[in-house]
A and B are shown apart, each in its own frame.
Chain A
Amino acid sequence: MIQSPYIRKPASVQRVMFTVLLALTPGIAAYVWQVGAGILVNLAIASATAVAAEALVRRLRGRPIAPAIGDLSALVTAWLVVLCFPPIVPWWVTVVAVTLAIAAVKHLYGGLGQNPFNPAMVAYCAMIVAFPSLMSQWPPAGGLDFATQLDLILGGARNLDAITGATALDALRTGLRGAESVDAILRQPPFGTLGGRGWEWIAAGYLAGGLLLLALRVITWHMPVAFLATLAATAGAFWLANPAQFASPLFHLASGGAMLAAFFIVTDPVSGATTPLGKIIFAAGIGLIAYLIRAFGAFPEGIAFAVLLMNLCVPLIDMKTQPRVFGHRRGKSP
């Protein structure tokens, strides 16, 4: 017996995920423009892997395959994996990473909606721990031509010192380790006006997409605002204390994955906190930990680890920030 309500809003998971994919396109466009079209190859590889992995696992479990692929969530995961990775990472790293994200992180917990960890971020963390050298080779500022990128992706010679470089964040920490001052480092080639050279544009693309998501009410303001504000505030505090040792907040906002994370990663509904206050705590925690890892930790980019660390806290955050229920006084259980 089907029960009420008998009418439903025309909304679907597919639509939500499609919107997210759509919102990623400005960022990807900027990426292609600034860094090269190699990323598109990676996106294709990752998408195919995601669909295959999803289908395979569902098949193994004897569950219908079509709805799971139709919901497009695997593609979101796959795209985000690629966008976090260096664009010239060999194809098999992408394949391993996406398979890990989909088969292990998502489906071992029962599939869509049930994973306590952000699949894309687990994939990133696992890969940077497993293959630190491959994962820290980025195309140099100014980009590489498509042929070279393709060659690298398909497994071409990797030990070409000349063609790879460091990201802005990596260069910054390398420079700081060499006891140079921030100002001197920021005049080096990988840096542009705000963040890494060219990366400002990509960040702007993500920002545009993020605003679209906000406008379409796919995400709420809590997480992006809390994340960016905390990141900026922490960076600002250290910067004010010692501008020679710490980069400015604007640099931190514009470099690495900050913008992508603010609107597309921190906001993952499945593995994130859900209550309004919880969302703020969750995202602020990511901002803080990400900065600490960037500035003091062993990894140049700390957002992925910060996301996982806050994923760990989600059940407790949600539990402790349950909003007041209609008619009840705050914090009082029945």
Chain B
Amino acid sequence: MSSYIFIVIGAVLVNNVVLVRMLGLCPFMGVSKKLETAIGMGAATTFVLTLGAGTSYLIDRYLLQPNDLAYLRTLSFIVVIAAIVQLTELVIHKTSPLLHRVLGIYLPLITTNCAVLGVPLLNVGLNHNLFESLLFGFGSSLGFTLVLVLFAGIRERLDGADVPAPFKGTAIAMITAGFMSLAFMGFAGLDRFH
């Protein structure tokens, strides 16, 4: 049980996908200008990432590993993820127009979020089982959402700051992300017993 908790804590805080593992940075920088969009992106990513982690695990465990086809991982994972994204869009479009309005514009962007491919690959590397893979996927996307939302909050506040001209815009955002990453180093060791 506690090892499951440590998987989540590890993925959310200690080895945060964005700030420590450095995955999913493009959406992290790109859709963090407004709080609302950050929340939408976070929700969409959480859904796809968790699902993708599970499916990828199944494919790897039951299709690729038995046939010794490890080299097909990248290809099959990304193709499956793309499919999940498309089908998710399809399903929520049909079933919940409201949700579609909230998540719709983010879904297509997710395919090129490397966390979505990175997390399943990490799962393979970490020898996670199905449940752990799901948990790790969920934890990672939670970590992604958390930092995205916090970052958006800060960026909104920075809107009016008198930042030196060359640093205006992405430069200061990048530096802020650096401070965030520094702050998250404080969590180092909290998953020590894992």
* A binding-site residues for B, Cβ under 8 Å: 61, 104-105, 107-111, 114, 116-117, 122, 125-126, 129, 289, 292-293, 296-299, 302, 304-306, 308-309, 311-316, 319
The answer to whether B157 and A108 have CB atoms under 8 Å apart is no
Residues of B within 8 A of A314 (CB): 153
- Report if A104-B175 is in contact (Cβ < 8 Å); known contacts: A297-B187, A309-B184: yes
Give the residue name and chain of the B residue nearest to A296 (CB).
B190
Residue of A nearest to B168 (CB): A110
Query: Which residues on A sit within 8 Å (CB–CB) of B186?
Result: 125, 289, 293, 297, 299, 302, 304-306, 308-309
Q: List 16 A-B contacts (CB under 8 A).
A: A61-B164, A108-B163, A109-B161, A110-B162, A111-B162, A116-B158, A116-B176, A125-B182, A292-B190, A293-B190, A297-B189, A306-B186, A308-B182, A312-B180, A315-B157, A316-B149
Q: How far is the CB of A316 from chain B (nearest CB, A)?
A: 5
Instruction: Point out the residue from A104, A111, A308 that lies within 8 Å of B183, measured CB to CB.
Output: A308
Bound-state CA distance A304–B179 (Å) is 12
Q: Chain A's nearest CB lies how many Å from the CB of B150?
A: 5
| B179 and A308 contact, CB distance less than 8 A | yes
Contacts A125-B185, A316-B150 aside, 12 further interface pairs with beta carbons under 8 A come to A61-B164, A108-B167, A109-B161, A109-B172, A293-B187, A296-B190, A297-B187, A305-B183, A305-B187, A308-B179, A309-B183, A315-B157
Given contact pairs A108-B175, A109-B161, A312 touches B187 in the complex (Cβ within 8 A) = no
- The minimal Cβ–Cβ distance linking B166 to chain A, given in whole angstroms, is 10
On whether the beta carbons of B164 and A312 are closer than 8 Å, the reply is: no
Q: Which chain A residues lie closer than 8 Å to B179 at the CB level?
A: 105, 117, 122, 308
Q: Contacts A105-B179, A122-B182, A311-B183; is A297 near B163 (CB within 8 Å)?
A: no
CA distance A29 to B154 in the complex (A): 38
Docked complex Cα distance between A49 and B158 (Å):
27
Question: B156 near A: Cβ within 8 Å?
Answer: yes
Neighbouring B residues of A129 by C-beta, 8 Å: 182, 185
Q: Tell yes or no: B192 within 8 A of A by CB.
A: yes
Determine whether the beta carbon of B182 is less than 8 Å from that of A107: no
Closest Cβ–Cβ distance, residue A128 to chain B (whole Å): 9
Number of interface residues of B (CB under 8 A): 27
Grouping DSSP codes into helix (H, G, I), strand (E, B) and loop, the B interface class, with mixed when no group exceeds half, is: helix
Q: Are B154 and A312 in contact (CB under 8 A)?
A: yes
Contact A296 B192 (CB under 8 A): yes
Give the chain B neighbours of A292 by CB distance below 8 A. 190
Chain B contacts with A in 129-167, Cβ cutoff 8 A: 149-150, 153-154, 156-158, 161-164, 167
B26 touches A (CB below 8 Å) = no
How far is the CB of A42 from the nearest CB of chain B, in Å? Answer: 23
Q: Is the CB of A109 within 8 A of B163?
A: yes
B59 interface residue (CB < 8 Å to A): no
- Give chain A residues whose Cβ lies under 8 Å from the Cβ of B184: 309
CA distance A203 to B96 in the complex (A): 58
- A286 vs B171: C-alpha distance when bound (angstroms): 28
Residues of B within 8 A of A313 (CB): 150, 153
Q: Is B188 an interface residue (CB 8 A)?
A: yes
B194 to chain A, nearest CB (A): 12
Q: CB < 8 Å: which of B158, B182, B183, B187 contacts A109?
A: B158
Determine the distance from Cα of A109 to Cα of B185 in the docked complex, in whole angstroms: 22
Contact across chains for B172 and A108 when beta carbons are under 8 A apart: yes
With the chains together, A125 CA to B183 CA distance in Å?
A: 8
The residue of chain B having its C-beta at the shortest distance from the C-beta of A125 within the complex is B182
Task: Select one of B175, B180, B182, B192 contacting A126, CB under 8 A.
Answer: B182
